[in-house]
Amino acid sequence: MAGPDKPLFRDLHADDDDPEVTEIESLCLSCHENGMTRLFLTKIPFFREVILSSFECEHCGMKNCELQPGSTIQDQGVTYTLEIKEEKDLNRQIVQTEKATVSIPSLEFEVPPTKGVLTTVEGIIDAAVSGLSLDQPARMEHYPEIGAKISEVILKLTMLKNVDEPFTLIVDDPTGNSFVENPYAPKSDPNTVVKHYNRTAAMDEALGIMPAETGQDDTPGANEEVMTFNTNCPNCNAPCSTHMKMVEIPHFKEVIIMATNCEACGARSNEVKSASGIEKKGCRIKLKITDPIDMSRDVLKSETCSIAIPEIEFETDFGTLGGKFTTLEGLLQNVKDHLTGPNSFLQGDSSTQENKSRMDSFCGKLDQIINGEMMDVHFVLDDPAGNSYLQNVYAPDDDPEMEIEHYDRNYDENEILGLNDMKTEGYEEES
Residues ≥6 apart with Cβ < 8 Å to 300: 249, 252, 255, 272, 324, 325, 387, 388, 389, 390
CA distance 376 to 398: 19
In order, the DSSP letters of 61-107 are --EEEEEEESSPPPSSEEEEEEEE-SGGGGG-EEEE-TT-EEEEGGG
Whether the bond into 105 is cis, omega within 30 of 0: no
Q: Tell me the Cα Rg of the chain.
A: 24
Helices H / strands E in the chain, number of each: 8, 24
Mean pLDDT (10-residue bins), the chain, 431 residues: 43 47 78 80 53 79 67 80 93 87 92 83 92 88 90 93 94 89 82 88 80 44 66 78 75 72 76 72 94 91 89 83 84 83 54 77 90 93 90 87 94 83 63 50
Burial class (CB in 10 A: 0-12, 13-18, 19+), 182: buried
Identity of the residue numbered 224: E
Residue type, 78: V
Confidence (pLDDT) at 351? 62
pLDDT on residue 321 = 76
What pLDDT is stored for residue 116 in this prediction? Answer: 76
Q: Could you give the CA distance from residue 397 to residue 338 in angstroms, rounded to a whole number?
A: 36
Alpha-carbon distance of 232 to 269, in angstroms, equals 12
Predicted confidence at residue 9, as pLDDT, reads 46
* Single pTM value for the model: 0.51
- Domains belonging to the chain, first-starting first, are 1-71 (2.20.25.420), 77-206 (2.60.120.1040), 223-276 (2.20.25.420), 282-416 (2.60.120.1040)
Phi, psi of 52 (to 5 degrees): -100, 130
Q: What is the 3-state secondary structure (H, E, C) of 95-125?
A: EECCCCEEEEHHHCEEECCCCCEEEEHHHHH
DSSP state of 261: E
* Per-residue exposure over 308-337, b if at least 16 CB sit within 10 Å of its own CB, e if not: bbeebebbbbbbbbebbbbbbbbbbbebbe
In this prediction, residue 101 carries a pLDDT of: 93
